Amino acid sequence: MRHNMEVAICGIKFKNPVIAASGTFGFGSEHAGYIDLNRIGGIAVKGLTLEPKKGNQPPRIAETPSGMLNSVGLQNPGVDYFIEHQLPRLKGYDTRIIVNINGNTEEEYCMMAEKLQGKPVDMLELNISCPNVKQGGMAFGTDPDTVYNVTKSVRAHAGQPVLVKLTPNVTDIREIAIAVEEGGGDGISLINTVLGMAVDAKSRKPILANVVGGLSGPAIKPIALRMVWEVSKVVGIPIVGMGGIATGEDAVEFLLAGAAAVGVGTANLISPTACIDIVNQIEEYMRINGVEDINELTGGLIV
């Protein structure tokens, strides 16, 4: 039996639903010595900003039970450097390229979207967990009106479909997701990291220099699954589910909860072959359970 692994997100075909999530896979080439990048569905590159950024002071990584905290602070070489030096390498691979963009203002997001127009990039991923400097530092993604406005503005300046990556640090994720759809967003990436902190009891100090950071890894999977399921009930645009996926079975759970594809993040830091392992494990699940088409699984949760 032939098993169809192909999925379509925002009209773009992916050979399989496994995407290397932004922030744990660099710009792809860092993993090329470990896995065949042509075998994964897509790569969401490390988050980019308009100008180069050094990120936060160390220590900025802390291990936690079943997960990790990070306050890297979007260290990156800037969008122009990416276009000139990283993108030419990436476009040589037979995989979809998703560029994660971050801004301090609505205008910065739009400028980045314009720079990426006409480039060999398949999608933009709008990270709206960033602080909006014009609104006193509150993250874009926590207010429905702000989410609607920034999504609508970027959509007007983008040449590619726009995925909007949502923060889970809100009261009701559904109203944020509805704002994305109403603002013209083509899809949703869900979830970003959960705000947390770690303390060293001996020194009585926070472990992270930034005090707080984003929690990721298996510890957040139940939260992510719940949010993907909730959002899938209220929007008609596709969801890329992420948050603690470490196995093929984890990925299948997200598809059943309503995701059209999945992002693999922290697992890449544990094993550089994680994405390929998960592709193989999904194929094995399909074989054992008689699933001919991966798309049969999306939204297939029996409640």
pLDDT higher for 139 or 52?
52
User: Whole-model pTM?
Assistant: 0.97
User: Are 106 and 54 contacting, i.e. CB atoms less than 8 angstroms apart?
Assistant: no
- Say whether pLDDT at 130 is over 80: no
* pLDDT at residue number 129: 82
- Say whether pLDDT at 206 is over 80: yes
> Where is 227: in which H helix or E strand?
helix 221-232
* pLDDT at residue number 1: 62
Residue 213 φ/ψ region, left for φ over 0, alpha for ψ in the -120 to 50 degree band, beta for the rest: beta
* pLDDT at residue number 2: 74
Annotation marks residue 130 as catalytic: yes
**Rounded mean pLDDT, 96-102:** 98
CA 183, 186, 187, 188: dihedral to nearest 10 degrees?
A: -30
Q: Which two tokens stand for residue 98?
A: 């998703």
Residues 298, 301, 302: CA angle, nearest 5 degrees: 145
**Rounded mean pLDDT, 25-39:** 94
Strand partners of residue 10: none
Instruction: Report how far residue 142's alpha carbon sits from residue 157's, in angstroms, rounded to the nearest whole number.
Output: 22
pLDDT averaged over every residue in the chain: 96
Q: Which two tokens stand for residue 52?
A: 């180069």
User: Are 275 and 18 contacting, i.e. CB atoms less than 8 angstroms apart?
Assistant: yes
Q: pLDDT band at residue 214, thresholds of 50, 70 and 90?
A: very high
**Rounded mean pLDDT, 211-234:** 97
Instruction: Report how far residue 147's alpha carbon sits from residue 240's, in angstroms, rounded to the nearest whole number.
Output: 18
In the chain, how long is the greatest CA-to-CA distance? 59
Protein fold of 7-296: TIM Barrel (3.20.20)
Backbone angles phi, psi at 145, to 5 degrees: -65, -40
- Say whether pLDDT at 86 is over 90: yes
Instruction: Report how far residue 264's alpha carbon sits from residue 278's, in angstroms, rounded to the nearest whole number.
Output: 9
* pLDDT at residue number 201: 98
Q: pLDDT band at residue 133, thresholds of 50, 70 and 90?
A: low
3-state secondary structure of 238: coil
